[in-house]
């Protein structure tokens, strides 16, 4: 199952949701301002990112800048509590499933979230008359970019 951490007014979040809906891919949306993130969830996000807090936290965040917070000086528990109390520091969207983890919307990288079955079928199942040809054809190298 795909989980997306979003916020209102986030253009990239809207793009990800639209991309998934266009492809009828089910997902769970967690608005970081409406759903209280718990410690285990934040630990999991940190563990899935390649560079830990550097990947998921916006160091340009107003809270970090105004308070001159040195994230590297925080212990893991302090960092987790800081995120819980200040969810706006999280970069968005954060997209993940069992196999993939992505921060932000990237039109090429998001293909990793296509279900495996769809990727297997794409090379042979449609032609120019198919409503999904633009996507499938691109996957096969037939459709124009």
Residues belonging to the active site: 10
Question: CB-based contacts of 122: which residues, under 8 Å, 6+ apart?
Answer: 114, 135, 136, 139, 140
DSSP state of 99: S
Distances (CA, A) of 16 to 69, 78, 98, 116: 30, 31, 17, 18
CA distances from 83 to 43, 59, 102, 127 (A): 10, 12, 18, 47
Residue 106 has which token pair? 């990237």
Vertex 59: Cα angle to 58 and 63 (nearest 5): 95
């Amino acid at each position: 199952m795909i989980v997306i951490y979003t916020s209102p007014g986030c253009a990239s979040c809207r793009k990800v949701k639209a991309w998934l809906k266009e492809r009828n891919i089910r997902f769970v949306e967690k608005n970081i301002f409406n759903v209280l993130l718990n410690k285990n969830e934040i630990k999991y996000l940190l563990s899935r990112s390649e560079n830990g807090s550097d990947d998921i936290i916006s160091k340009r965040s107003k809270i970090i800048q105004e308070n001159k917070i040195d994230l590297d000086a925080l212990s893991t528990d302090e960092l987790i509590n800081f995120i819980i109390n200040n969810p706006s520091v999280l970069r968005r969207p954060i997209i993940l499933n069992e196999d993939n983890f992505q921060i932000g919307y990237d039109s090429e990288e998001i293909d990793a979230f296509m279900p495996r079955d769809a990727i297997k079928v794409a090379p042979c199942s449609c032609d120019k008359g198919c409503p999904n040809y633009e996507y499938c054809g691109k996957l096969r190298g037939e459709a124009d970019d």
